[in-house]
Structure 1
Amino acid sequence: MEKGKASALVPIGVFLALFIGCGVIFRDFYAVPAVVGFLIALLVAFFQNRKRSFGEKMNTIATGMGDQNVMIMCLVFILAGAFSGTAQAAGGVDSVVNFALSIMPPGVAVAGLFVIASFISLSMGTSVGTIAALVPIAVGISQKTGLAGALCVGAVVSGAMFGDNLSMISDTTIAAARTQGCDMKDKFRENFKIVLPAAVATFVIFIVLTMNVPTEIHGIYEYDFLKIVPYLAVLVSALCGLNVIIVLVLGLALSLGVGLFTGMILPQQMFGVIAGGPDGGGGIAGMYDITVISILVAGIIGLVKANGGIDFILSSIRKVVKTKKGAQLGIAVLSSAVDISTANNTVAIVIAGPIAKDISDEFGIEPKRTASLLDIFTSVWQGILPYGAQLLYASAGAAAVGLALTPVDIIPFLFYPILMGISALIWILFGIGERKRI
């Protein structure tokens, strides 16, 4: 195998320099929109390697962007946005939150917040949406019980990352499965086995920390079970093995039907809530950035690969990694490093996914396991980065209801993301769940 060229990785370095540099300078890691950063990186990649003609480079970009997995992934992003926006407009989010709160066992409010956040993010496929919905409730529980606000908010963020990592309609799951060419149900099952011990341990920790504090919360939480049905239908049908596109179309149809039946969506509004936008919530518009980013990154990776960048990474890894176990640790380090740099776990998976695919092919790692490792380790860091969207939303949501919390205040109580990473490392180091060679 060719050694490749380190210079071919310059475009990725340019993106990271722009993103991190401007984040530090302006104290805002969203000062440079990712889509702009990747467009600049694409231009840098295009002007490399003068031996190749303009037409050859354009053909490489178009081939990378038009890859079957990339296009299917973008279609799934669009359908997931349409379903999410429609279900939210139909009142599904409020009903899911209130239903979960209404069945919370008395005396376990903080552990209950973790379970509720897990259920909601698993249903909705968004950690940020879950955090936005539950942080005000977590602050209320803190104020009524005297429990530390950071502890209550930490339980919400922990649960939100559980669902974000596993949900069938989460953009991270979609990206991880498509970049590795595996079925999402297979990735879910593999992923769930790895993170279940971490989830159970987190629940126990929250129970132990609050066992001597009276945490029973009284209140009336109104919900309409009919509005929850689309989320349950998506979750169950996905676990039963239906194709994700069919699952999302089914969820979209059910959400529209429920919204029209209950009057939450008027006939003249139904196409608007699907499309979304500034006045209509998320919808398809909420997926524009990640869809365009996925296409741009595919073009960049195509040029980087043609210029020898992927060969350089693989040859470098081969110098240090000699076993399947080492390759999995390499994928963990790769995905972690990219997420720390970009503060966006979906973008990190889109960038690291093609490289991880080559590594897994080289060392015989099952696609579902590689997809799980990609999603897990990017979610680990995404859940604890003080400049990541999750903790920024959590601190802002707490401030909006009168509780001053910085992202750093919440980090000591983010038990689940940390334990998720530990659990995944144990699975790698001890070879748990690996298919034995005959």
Structure 2
Amino acid sequence: MNEEKEAGRKITPPTLTDALIPIISLIVLLAGAIYLYGDDATSGPTQVALMLSTMIAALVGLKNGHSLEDMGHAAVEGVSTAMGAIFILLAVGALVGTWMMSGAIATLVHWGVQFLNPNWYYVATVIICAILALSIGSSWTVVGTLGVGLIGIAEALGVSPEITAGAVISGAYFGDKMSPLSETTNLAAAVAGTKLYTHIRGMMWTAVPSILISLVIFGFIGLRQVPQVPLDLTEVLRIMESVYNTGLLTMIPLLVVLIMSLKKVPAYSSIMAGALTGGLMAVI
């Protein structure tokens, strides 16, 4: 075993067992918290599990010769690396809120719904969710807003809501991974020490073939199914128009974000500009 001496201490490289102990401990503790507390686990027990697993990792570090001070500095560096993603996550919340108030998201949904066809419903769902996730950089937001609506429309059309849910997730996660506004994409690039757009280009080698295969499968399933009810989205569109502002002007915030992204402006600045523009459009 290679050993080196630093500041009078022997620093021993971690073994595979050392590396697995904190991970296995975390899995066991999280599983126990969920088993004991169910849905209430996120209200405290999971945080306790995370803290306990951190303490176990610290004990492993002490065993290998690291001091608490060194591990504290390493923890600060780790958090510093993630700060960019944290700020982006906060900015995305503002972006989604102002875009919903301004009608930008509603307009995207409105346009997408007009092109829906039962035979191509799953394919259209993937594409619509991918475009929206690419625009805002948040797969969870797409799934929780547009995704829920598309599943409701699927039930109204007589197509499978379960398969629709799969299409929603496929499109949302693809758009999220390819979006320069995504906090996870930015975090992965920061941790890997590479440029954001270099990271995105690297992911395209696996993400693009995956989404193409998904589109083929969803298209095949859609062509073989027979919808149980006739396609009539007139009422859905009417309700959307009565509740939200829809129109070309509501796309200005999206245009701002796209232009800034193409200019390779930092993601946080692009998102905040889009959020401020969306807020201005909502007020107007």
Same fold per superposition (TM over 0.5):
yes
Hey, which of these two has a bigger chunk of helix by percent?
2
1:202-351 alignment, distance < 5 Å: 202-212=214-224, 213=226, 216-219=231-234, 220=237, 222=241, 223-261=246-284
1:47-126 alignment, distance < 5 Å: 47-48=59-60, 49=62, 56-66=67-77, 69-104=81-116, 107-126=119-138
Q: Report the equivalent of 2:169.
A: 157
The CA distance in 1 between the partners of 2:82 and 2:188, in whole Å, is 11
1:180: Cα distance to partner? 0.9
Relative to 1, partners in 2 of residues 1:63 and 1:137: Cα closer, same or farther, differing over 3 Å? Answer: closer
Relative to 1, partners in 2 of residues 1:121 and 1:20: Cα closer, same or farther, differing over 3 Å? Answer: same
> How many residues in Structure 1 have an aligned counterpart in Structure 2?
259
1:18 aligns with 2:33: no
1:142 aligns with 2:165: no
The CA distance in 2 between the partners of 1:98 and 1:28, in whole Å, is 35
1:77/1:174 contact within 8 Å kept: no
The CA distance in 2 between the partners of 1:145 and 1:86, in whole Å, is 31
Q: Report the equivalent of 2:9.
A: none
The secondary structure found in structure 1 opposite 2:277 is helix
Match of 1:172 among 184, 196, 202: 184
1:387-398 alignment, distance < 5 Å: none
The CA distance in 2 between the partners of 1:51 and 1:180, in whole Å, is 25
The CA distance in 1 between the partners of 2:204 and 2:281, in whole Å, is 30
The CA distance in 2 between the partners of 1:51 and 1:197, in whole Å, is 43
Structure 1 window deviating more from structure 2 (114-123 vs 38-47): it is: 38-47
Relative to 1, partners in 2 of residues 1:82 and 1:142: Cα closer, same or farther, differing over 3 Å? Answer: closer
The CA distance in 1 between the partners of 2:14 and 2:56, in whole Å, is 18
The CA distance in 2 between the partners of 1:255 and 1:71, in whole Å, is 24
Relative to 1, partners in 2 of residues 1:258 and 1:14: Cα closer, same or farther, differing over 3 Å? Answer: same
The CA distance in 2 between the partners of 1:183 and 1:89, in whole Å, is 33
The CA distance in 1 between the partners of 2:92 and 2:188, in whole Å, is 15
Relative to 1, partners in 2 of residues 1:70 and 1:171: Cα closer, same or farther, differing over 3 Å? Answer: closer
Percent of aligned pairs with the same amino acid: 23
Relative to 1, partners in 2 of residues 1:134 and 1:79: Cα closer, same or farther, differing over 3 Å? Answer: closer
The CA distance in 1 between the partners of 2:221 and 2:41, in whole Å, is 35
Relative to 1, partners in 2 of residues 1:37 and 1:95: Cα closer, same or farther, differing over 3 Å? Answer: farther
Gaps of 5+ in 1: 262-438
Letter in 2 for 1:126: S
2:92/2:138 contact within 8 Å kept: no
The secondary structure found in structure 2 opposite 1:242 is coil
The secondary structure found in structure 2 opposite 1:182 is coil
The secondary structure found in structure 2 opposite 1:108 is helix
The CA distance in 2 between the partners of 1:193 and 1:7, in whole Å, is 34
Relative to 1, partners in 2 of residues 1:72 and 1:146: Cα closer, same or farther, differing over 3 Å? Answer: closer
Gaps of 5+ in 2: 3-12
Relative to 1, partners in 2 of residues 1:239 and 1:74: Cα closer, same or farther, differing over 3 Å? Answer: same
The CA distance in 1 between the partners of 2:169 and 2:206, in whole Å, is 19
Letter in 1 for 2:274: G
The CA distance in 2 between the partners of 1:174 and 1:148, in whole Å, is 35
Relative to 1, partners in 2 of residues 1:76 and 1:148: Cα closer, same or farther, differing over 3 Å? Answer: closer
Q: Report the equivalent of 1:131.
A: 143
Relative to 1, partners in 2 of residues 1:243 and 1:47: Cα closer, same or farther, differing over 3 Å? Answer: same
The CA distance in 2 between the partners of 1:39 and 1:235, in whole Å, is 40
The CA distance in 1 between the partners of 2:58 and 2:179, in whole Å, is 36
> 1:349-399 CA distances to partner (integer Å, 9 max, x unpaired)?
xxxxxxxxxxxxxxxxxxxxxxxxxxxxxxxxxxxxxxxxxxxxxxxxxxx
Greater length-normalized contact order (CA 8 Å, ≥ 6 residues apart): 1
Letter in 2 for 1:237: M
1:117/1:159 contact within 8 Å kept: yes
Which has more radius of gyration? Answer: 2
Letter in 1 for 2:84: I
Relative to 1, partners in 2 of residues 1:134 and 1:81: Cα closer, same or farther, differing over 3 Å? Answer: closer
Q: Report the equivalent of 2:14.
A: 4
The secondary structure found in structure 2 opposite 1:11 is helix
The CA distance in 2 between the partners of 1:25 and 1:18, in whole Å, is 10
The CA distance in 2 between the partners of 1:218 and 1:179, in whole Å, is 45
Match of 1:43 among 55, 58, 62: 55
The secondary structure found in structure 1 opposite 2:265 is coil
Letter in 2 for 1:175: L
The CA distance in 1 between the partners of 2:168 and 2:39, in whole Å, is 24
The CA distance in 2 between the partners of 1:135 and 1:251, in whole Å, is 22
